[in-house]
Amino acid sequence: MKLWGGRFEKPVNQIAEEFGASIPFDRRLYREDIAGSTAHARMLARQGIISNEDAEKIVAGLERIREKIDRGEFNFRLDREDIHLNIEAELAADIGEAAGRLHTGRSRNDQVALDFRLYACRTIGQTVDRIMRLQETLVNLAEKWHGVIMPGYTHMQRAQPVLLSHHLLAYFEMFQRDAGRFSDCYGRTDVSPLGSGALAGVPYPLDRDFVAAQLGMSAVSRNSMDSVSDRDFLVEYLAAAALCAVHLSRFAEEIILWSTGEFGFIELDDSYSTGSSIMPQKKNPDMAELVRGKTGRMVGHLTAALVMLKGLPLSYNKDMQEDKEGFFDASDTLITSLTVFEGMIATMRIKPEAMAKGADGSFATATDLADYLVGKGLPFRQAHEVVGKLVRYAIDHQKTFSGLTLVEFKEFSPLFEEDAMRITPATSMAARNTYGGTAPAQVTNAIAASRTLLDETRQWLNGLGF
Ligand code: ARG
């Protein structure tokens, strides 16, 4: 087929054709392309730019093509370069001359921008839905295991006792912000560029608002040159995706550590683990490792998009065709990672005794003993010194705080009384009753607050039709 009309005398070189074609990947936009063309054709007829009869033929023909693609019977052709030309050529073969009127007042530049924005909106909804499910699982676990004590870490050293629920809800918060970033960029993505033409607008009396309304989009873009060349919405998605992947990766790292023999805090379910082909005893946390590993390419896709855009003059440039594969891979990877991760943590076996043991035998209540001395009037810095020496003594005698007698305590400070011996991880946590702290009462409130946030996300998704 001669794609480019009368200007060309020679067919394209075969390698150049393959190099230039986007159909191997942009075929994923077919639903959006057909929705956009349908709305455009209806608008053209409404405005008297094409006849109603032609519009009917176009709309019906597009519907047949959609069904054909749905059934997997459509022959995508490389020599038709991209999804837009594939569909248009098929339409022409089906309905004849009327198909040639569809592209009136439109360019592939505003067409592809529209398709991609519609596609990205749908993807944002799917992504937020998966984040929300993972958050639900986190809240359910936090509720189920409320009361389980574990060591909290800084520098990967045992620091202070915390509730497992508090630890899990820390990830809830990260994912809450991730969901917020996605829903925030939805508003800037949900804007119709159609009617911008190639770059300067079009010389037909188009009704851009009608098209946007038909497509369920909230706004029309304000500047035609920006509309055909802006891909910020894609960068925003990739940035939010990379960050969400980083959060998942940090969590994955903890799951991997917790499932080691050294920690023994959890055991992953067989259905989310793999064995070794040589070491019969092995049970590997492959899913968590892969989630962690895939973060690299998520960050890569963000970088690739930014670098692709950085030197581009206005307006459309073919470089922009490079926007799609990274987006598809990033969103597929993120959605699958979220799904697998959710299943993995929902089924893991939690070992409360091992966690409690870690919190108990590790001087994690040292700060509380210092605070105890502060309560007796000692300045905090001196109290810190006293307890530091007490810890040194206990380590030298291979004991923990609970193995020391009051006499031993008093050797370090006469201010220690019997009640100092009753400081435990549980009392330590209960004392941290500031808003956002790990005290059980605070965590109970945090669970309730998290459920309210989940309801808000659910409502937002319902509004999108999820
Ligand atoms: N396949 C192209 C892309 O993805 C569609 C837009 C082509 N526009 C053009 N003027 N060549 O960007």
Ligand 1 and 21: CB distance under 6 A:
no
Q: Is 116 in the pocket of ligand 1 (CB under 6 A)?
A: no
E strand or H helix at 251: helix 232-258
Q: Given the CA of residue 316, which atom of ligand 1 is nearest to it?
A: 10
Q: What is the pLDDT of residues 71-91, one digit of tens each?
A: 999 999 999 999 999 999 999
Q: Which of 7, 12, 23, 108 is the best mutation target for the ligand 1 pocket, counting ligand atoms within 8 Å of the beta carbon and taking the most?
A: 108
Look at domain 14-104 and name its CATH class: mainly alpha
109 lines ligand 1 (CB under 6 A): yes
Could you say which architecture CATH assigns to the domain 359-445? Answer: Orthogonal Bundle (1.10)
CA contacts within 13 A on the Cβ side of 450: 30
pLDDT computed for residue 330 by the predictor = 98
Residue whose CA lies nearest to ligand 1 atom number 2: 321
Determine the atom of ligand 1 nearest the C-alpha atom of 81: 1
Q: What is the pTM of this model?
A: 0.95
Percent of the chain with pLDDT over 90: 92
Q: What is the CATH number of domain 109-357?
A: 1.20.200.10
- Bridge partners, residue 162, by sequence: 150
Q: Is the distance from CB of 22 to CB of 83 less than 8 angstroms?
A: yes
Residue 274 has pLDDT above 90, yes or no: no
Contact between 87 and 108 (Cβ < 8 Å): no
What does the mean pLDDT of the chain come to? 96
**Over the stretch 337-382, which tens digit does the pLDDT of each residue have?**
999 999 999 999 999 999 999 998 779 899 999 999 999 999 999 9
pLDDT digits (tens, 9 = 90+) for 23-67: 999 999 999 999 999 999 999 999 999 999 999 999 999 999 999
Cβ of 22 closer than 6 Å to ligand 1, yes or no, is yes
Decide: 450 in ligand 1 pocket, CB within 6 A. Answer: no
- DSSP-based three-state secondary structure for 222: coil
Helices 30-46 and 108-144, interaxial angle, to 10°?
130
The total number of residues written for the chain in this structure:
466
Q: Which of 23, 78, 106, 112 to mutate to test the pocket of ligand 1 (most atoms within 8 A of CB)?
A: 112
Which residues does the annotation mark as catalytic? 155, 276
Query: Comparing 109-357 with 359-445, is the CATH topology the same?
Result: no
- pLDDT tens readout for residues 134-163: 999 999 999 999 999 999 999 999 999 999
Q: How far is the CA of 307 from the centre of ligand 1 (A)?
A: 19
| All structural domains of the chain with their residue ranges | 14-104, 109-357, 359-445
